[in-house]
Amino acid sequence: MLLHGWTANADLNWFTCYRPLAEHFRVVAIDHRGHGRGMRSRKTFRLEDCADDAMALCDVLGIERVIPVGYSMGGPIAQLMWRRHPTRVRGLVLCATSAYFRTSREERLGFLGLTGLAAVARLTPLQARRWLTEQLYLKGKADKWEPWAVQQAAEHDWRMVLQAGRSIGAYDARPWIGEVDVPTAAVITMRDHVVPVRRQIRLFQAIGDCEAYRVDGDHDSVISHREFAPLLVRACSAVAERSR
């Protein structure tokens, strides 16, 4: 079960990995709430709801047990799938992610500011929402992306996406992450400027049955580093084998 990162959707995050993974596994991917074609709701975005959404999709598809593969924001969602539905999760693969995302004053202020932006995105007309989209996500990228990718990002509900940012900032699994009792792999992006490497390593160290896989790349390694997809296949295969 592929769980994408913040401001992406399933296809933007995982398009380089679908084919390599499908050669070995049954692969399912989901657009999280407000992202791409994900569920729209008047409720405030919560990572816990995304974890329940993913498991509900498994129910619909008749999947009894699953290995969640979470990238960045998808990492907390995968962790919460285990915490909320422990008997349904065979193992975890956690990529470019952490058990917490803010500690410094600057980080706290940055995530808090997303609440105000979310309100603006909810109340302003379509033109203003388009401006927010350009400023927050597509700025400097639209001229480099394929048209399909720009269209994928344009489908976001930015009110929910910005609420998701605040939810990420409030996430802290450190009190319980050490209780994870299923085989786990941590794919660590060693040049990451978004999720510091030290936090990724602390996540790896906190989980007892966890193996580390290292990628010499930044936070976008899933789409920019040619070694990422083969490494992800190795990580998933190892978790699948250890969880038999």
Q: Is residue 86 part of a domain?
A: yes
Whether the predicted pLDDT of 150 surpasses 80: no
pLDDT of residue 158: 82
Asked if residue 117 is part of any domain, the answer here is: no
In a domain, 35, yes or no: yes
Q: Residue 157 domain-assigned?
A: no
- The answer, as to whether pTM is greater than 0.85, is yes
Split into its structural domains, the chain has a count of 1
Closest among 170, 163, 153, 73 to 116, alpha carbons compared? 163
pLDDT in tens, 182-241: 999 999 999 998 899 999 999 999 999 999 999 999 999 999 999 999 999 999 999 999
Chain segment 84-131, per-residue pLDDT in tens: 999 999 999 999 999 999 765 554 444 444 455 555 555 455 555 555
Element (H, E) at 158: helix 158-170
Q: Give CA separation, 110 vs 7, 9, 206, 221, 243, in Å.
A: 16, 22, 26, 24, 39
How high is the mean pLDDT of the chain? 87
Query: Residue 19 domain-assigned?
Result: yes
Residue type, 135: Q
In a domain, 134, yes or no: no
**Quick check: is 167 in a domain?**
no
Looking up residue 183, the CATH number of its domain turns out to be: 3.40.50.1820
CA geometry: angle 171, 4, 130, nearest 5 deg = 90
Residue 125 lies in a domain: no
